[in-house]
């Protein structure tokens, strides 16, 4: 964490010391192409229907009927749908930003319920007899099973964005800055957009490494949560991957028909958790989008 903050501060100092305005290079490129200046605000909404599966036990899949897009881009600072960032370096080859964001794993813990069960949830999808964790005594009556509570974590990190005719690539490294899980996450993704006529489609692939602390906080069964229905479990750090596609058919300059689908494979150790019923998360959405 300290190292990450040092890197971020050094980056800020370097950008300030050189008097480099990150948007200048991009602006020069824009002028060279004679492109009109983009508005600072980007406001959009998509209405339709979609769902994201929830890998957490005793929880509902997450319906999506509206997808909001709220972003603001200044010379250095930007707000992008909950992410707050500042550009440290922006040149012909890449853009590096310091970003604060909210961890998205907490989303799964928002729609949970309690059920009386007659088995104990164990690692790897196995079940056993209900047992008192203190005495080991077998229990005969059904016991309540409810996923534990998890908090949102504010994470601070660096991201580097690459882009060109070959597509877009992103490298990110984030660390918990809120003392919630004290872990870190490193990810990389690549996407490419094809545009033909009014149709645009952008497939993507990505990999994410989540540390032991992060994985354990959200997906482990902690010592104090070891119960008659949930067995203690401590996942390790690991690598997950995801793929997805976003497509748009533009009906006008501001209205489009949008479709997106996403598949995320949980890292093995998380998928083995007693809290997890599926080893993946899948999502889809289709609807009409407006850009204001």
Partner 1 sequence: MTRWLTALLAAWLFHTPAIAADPAPVRLVIKPLLCVLDKTATTCSVTFDIRWKSTQPADYCLADSVTPDPLRCWQRSVTGDMKHERSFSDDFAFWLTPPAGGARLSEVKIEVLRVGSTDRRRERRTRHVWDVL
Q: How far is the CB of 117 from partner 1 (least distance, A)?
A: 27
The contact mask relative to partner 1 for 236-275 (x = CB under 8 A, - = no) is: ------------x-xxxx-x----x-x-------------
Residue 64 and residue 45 in contact, taking contact as beta carbons nearer than 8 Å: no
Contact call for residue 170 and partner 1 (CB under 8 A):
yes
CA contacts within 13 A on the Cβ side of 86 = 11
Contact call for residue 155 and partner 1 (CB under 8 A):
no
Neighbours of 221 (CB within 10 A): 23
**Can you tell me the distance from the alpha carbon of 221 to that of 16, in angstroms, rounded to the nearest whole number?**
45
Q: How far is the CB of 2 from partner 1 (least distance, A)?
A: 26
Closer Cβ to partner 1, 73 or 232, answer by number = 73
Work out which of 12, 21, 89, 102 binds partner 1, going by CB under 8 A.
102
**Can you tell me the distance from the alpha carbon of 131 to that of 120, in angstroms, rounded to the nearest whole number?**
7
Work out which of 78, 174, 218, 219 binds partner 1, going by CB under 8 A.
78
Contact call for residue 68 and partner 1 (CB under 8 A):
yes
Paired tokens of 218: 């959200």
CB burial of 119-137 (b: ≥16 within 10 Å; e: otherwise) equals: ebbbbeeeeeebbebeeee
Contact call for residue 287 and partner 1 (CB under 8 A):
yes
Q: Which of these segments, 24-32, 116-124, 174-182, 270-278, binds partner 1 (CB under 8 A)?
A: 24-32
**Can you tell me the distance from the alpha carbon of 21 to that of 44, in angstroms, rounded to the nearest whole number?**
28
Residue 196 and residue 212 in contact, taking contact as beta carbons nearer than 8 Å: no
Helix or strand run (H / E) with residue 241:
strand 238-250
Contact call for residue 85 and partner 1 (CB under 8 A):
yes
CB burial of 25-64 (b: ≥16 within 10 Å; e: otherwise) equals: bbeeeeeeeeeeeeeeebebebebebebbbbbbbbeebeb
**Can you tell me the distance from the alpha carbon of 107 to that of 203, in angstroms, rounded to the nearest whole number?**
24
Token pair 């310091």: residue: 98
Work out which of 5, 10, 43, 65 binds partner 1, going by CB under 8 A.
65
Work out which of 82, 124, 128, 179 binds partner 1, going by CB under 8 A.
82
Closer Cβ to partner 1, 71 or 177, answer by number = 71
Contact call for residue 109 and partner 1 (CB under 8 A):
no
Contact call for residue 197 and partner 1 (CB under 8 A):
yes
Contact call for residue 21 and partner 1 (CB under 8 A):
no
The residue ranges that bind partner 1 (CB under 8 A) are 23, 26, 29-30, 33-36, 38, 42, 47-50, 52, 62, 64-69, 71, 73, 78, 80-83, 85, 87, 90, 94-95, 97, 101-102, 104, 107, 159, 161-163, 165, 168, 170, 189, 191, 193, 195, 197-198, 200, 204, 248, 250-253, 255, 260, 262, 283, 285, 287-288
């Amino acid at each position: 964490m300290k190292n990450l903050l040092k890197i971020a501060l050094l980056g800020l100092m370097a950008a300030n010391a050189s008097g480099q305005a990150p948007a200048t290079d991009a602006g020069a490129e824009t002028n060279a192409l004679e492109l009109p200046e983009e508005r600072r605000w980007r406001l959009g909404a998509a209405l339709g229907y979609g769902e994201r599966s929830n890998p957490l036990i005793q929880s509902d899949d997450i319906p999506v009927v509206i997808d909001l897009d709220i972003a603001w881009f200044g010379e250095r600072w930007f707000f992008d749908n909950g992410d707050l960032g500042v550009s440290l370096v922006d040149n012909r080859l890449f853009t590096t930003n310091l970003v604060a964001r909210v961890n998205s794993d907490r989303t799964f813990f928002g729609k949970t319920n309690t059920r009386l069960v007659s088995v104990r949830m164990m690692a790897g999808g196995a079940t056993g007899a209900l047992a008192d964790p203190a005495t080991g005594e077998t229990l005969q009556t059904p016991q309540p099973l409810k996923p534990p509570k998890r908090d949102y974590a504010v994470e601070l990190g660096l991201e580097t964005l690459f882009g060109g005719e070959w597509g877009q690539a992103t490298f990110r490294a984030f660390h918990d800055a809120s003392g919630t899980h004290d872990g870190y996450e490193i990810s990389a993704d690549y996407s490419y957009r094809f545009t033909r006529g009014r149709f645009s489609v952008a497939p993507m692939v990505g990999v994410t490494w989540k540390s032991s602390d992060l994985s354990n906080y959200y997906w482990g069964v902690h010592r104090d949560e070891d119960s008659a229905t949930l067995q203690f479990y401590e996942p390790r750090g690991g690598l997950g991957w995801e793929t997805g596609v976003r497509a748009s058919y533009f009906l006008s300059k501001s209205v489009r028909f949008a479709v997106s689908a996403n598949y995320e494979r949980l890292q093995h150790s998380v998928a083995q958790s007693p809290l997890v019923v599926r080893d993946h998360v899948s999502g889809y959405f289709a609807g009409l989008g407006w850009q204001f």
